[in-house]
Structure 1
Amino acid sequence: MDAFSRLIVLTEREQPSNLALLAESVHIKVEQLSRTDFDPRSVRPNCLVAFPYIGRQLGKRGVPDELMQYMAKGPVMIYQAERSLVDASFALNIGLRGVVYRDEQLDRVLNALKTVMAGELYYPRTLMSSLVDEFLQQRFQQGFDSEALTAIQLLTRQEKRIIQLVADGARNKEIASALNISAHTVKAHLSSIFRKTKSRNRVELLRWIQQSPTSHPA
């Protein structure tokens, strides 16, 4: 998905939201509205809605009507969620762009905002990694097409390592540190990976992984 140009932060009250203030601190265009004043029909293209999910459950029992209404109009993330009440895997499966829990450290909340506004998903690395492994296993069982195989054969060993780190949720600086290379080199490798897999960004690369046999280095 393309990057978002504006963040709409919904709040329980009209007082300033900490999430909105944090977003403004990293130069994200923010519009804060109370839930009672917000009309989902007013959501414009390239806007992401941040919905406060305080003290609510989200899992196999279903999705609240209010949240479903917002999601029907555009991309949504939830924040202030309780870990014991919100199933991150379920949230991902129903299409939420990310989940920010109440106990997240400040630096992680800032990272979450930057990630979702860039058009990427924000979920725990362990979840993303396990889902990628699950999808890859399914592809092994179902078989795969020749185009995907050709792309994998074109990938270098280093590119395959980078793909695995991307699947684990690592950012460019983290990839550079893990492989002892520069951030500039990481960008160059990612450009090559995107070209070979016909992906435009990390989200499409994750989809490619879902549809392809394993890209782990031999």
Structure 2
Amino acid sequence: MNSMDMGRLNAFVLTTTGNNISDTSAHVNPNLTQDTDQEALKHFIGLAGTCNMTLTTGSELPAVGDRRNYQLYFIDLQKSLWTKQIPENVLQLAAQVRTVLFNACEDALCDKQALLSGIEGVFYHNDRPEIILRGLTRIQQNERWFKRDTMNNALADLLKARQENPLPADSRLAEVNFPALTKREKTIINLVSSGAQNKEIADQLHISTNTVKTHIYSLFRKTSSRNRIELITWSQQFRSLPH
């Protein structure tokens, strides 16, 4: 499915001049000039405009009561280097509506922290146009856009936290009441939550990797999850429910 097959997204672009995205640790990248950051902003907006999005730009966020008028927020980070700490007001925005960061500098942003904090995606100032377009299309399709290593590291952190803080035996995954899941799907979600990859699941269940993929896609659909991290997070909320 390409972006033209879907309805247009109303998106708000918060520019670098906005005070809303600064904090006490922010500083300006000395390598950027007013001309270069304007060109970078126009470049990104131009690419987003080809992805079936209606864009509104501004140097300040809309009033709190009006923020739901937009389905997506893009925040320009050219002049807002947060020394790897995402400001609280950005985290609050991400909790309310889908939020994406762009023109980021890899040395000034922890993308894993952004992912685990609810940010939907990160684009870097040196990303090639085709990479940006691919990511924008994924965002348009209601997916997240992060580097694969970032996704894997975040998943590893979640699994490590689960191992270090095991749940009581009477609330483990095997005893959870999963709505509308088949017995095989319950088994697979247990294996996914333990960190097993598709090949390992296939070998353990004596099925093909394609069959595993089919079951996992079904799990994504039934749980409204977009990736393994969201699927594991979804499973957590049902652990304490009665049968």
Alpha carbons 2:12, 2:70 under 8 Å: kept: no
Identity fraction in percent: 19
Aligned mates of 1:208, 1:189 — CA distance in 2? 12
Q: Is residue 12 of structure 2 the alignment partner of residue 8 of structure 1?
A: yes
Q: Which of 53, 74, 84 is the matching residue for 1:29?
A: 53
Indicate the structure (1 or 2) with the bigger Cα radius of gyration: 2
Give the 3 Å change call, closer, same or farther, for CA 98–193 of structure 1 in structure 2: same
**Aligned pairs (5 A) from 1:33-112:** 33-36=57-60, 38-41=61-64, 42-44=66-68, 47-59=71-83, 61=85, 63=87, 67=90, 70-71=93-94, 74-112=97-135
Once the two structures are superposed, residues 98-125 of structure 1 have per-residue CA deviations (whole angstroms, 9 ceiling, x without a partner) of 2111011112111221222322222211
1:116-131 matches, cutoff 5 A: 116-131=139-154
- How many Å separate the matches in 1 of 2:70 and 2:215? 28
- Separation in structure 1 between the aligned mates of residue 111 and residue 216 of structure 2, nearest angstrom: 27
Q: CA deviation at 1:152?
A: 4.6
Residues 9, 54 of structure 2: 8 Å contact kept: no
Secondary structure of the corresponding residue to residue 23 of structure 1: helix
What are the ranges of 5 or more consecutive residues in structure 2 without an aligned counterpart?
A: 1-6, 18-37, 202-208, 237-243
Matched residue type, 1:10: L
Partner of 2:187: 153
Q: Over aligned residues, Cα RMSD in angstroms?
A: 4.0
Q: Deviations for 1:38-59, whole angstroms, at most 9, x for unmatched residues? A: 5243223561110111132235
1:153: Cα distance to partner?
2.5
Distance (Å, rounded) in 1 between the aligned partners of 2:85 and 2:46: 33
Preserved CA contact (<8 Å) 2:15 2:58: yes
Cα deviation, 1:147-170, whole Å, max 9, x if unaligned, reads: 569545257x9x951899xxxxxx
Q: How many residues align?
A: 185
Q: Which runs of 5+ in 1 are unaligned?
A: 165-178, 214-218
Matches within 5 A, 1:194-213: 194=220, 198-203=222-227, 205-210=228-233
Offset at residue 5 of structure 1 (A): 3.0
**C-alpha spacing 1:187/1:107, structure 2 compared with 1 (3 Å):** farther
Q: Partner letter of residue 75 of structure 1? A: R
Q: Are the counterparts in 1 of residues 86 and 114 from structure 2 also a CA contact under 8 Å?
A: no
Q: CA deviation at 1:92?
A: 2.3
Distance 1:56 1:93, change over 3 A: same
SS of equivalent to 1:202: coil
- SS of corresponding position for 2:231: helix
Instruction: Give the deviation of 1:25 after TM superposition.
Output: 1.6
Check conservation: 2:223, 2:234, Cα contact below 8 A.
no
Cα gap change, 1:84/1:115 in structure 2, threshold over 3 Å: closer, same or farther?
A: same
**Residue in 1 aligned with 2:24?**
none
TM-score when normalising by structure 1: 0.64
Compute the displacement of 1:72 (Å): 6.4
Find the residue that maps to 1:44 and give its secondary structure: helix
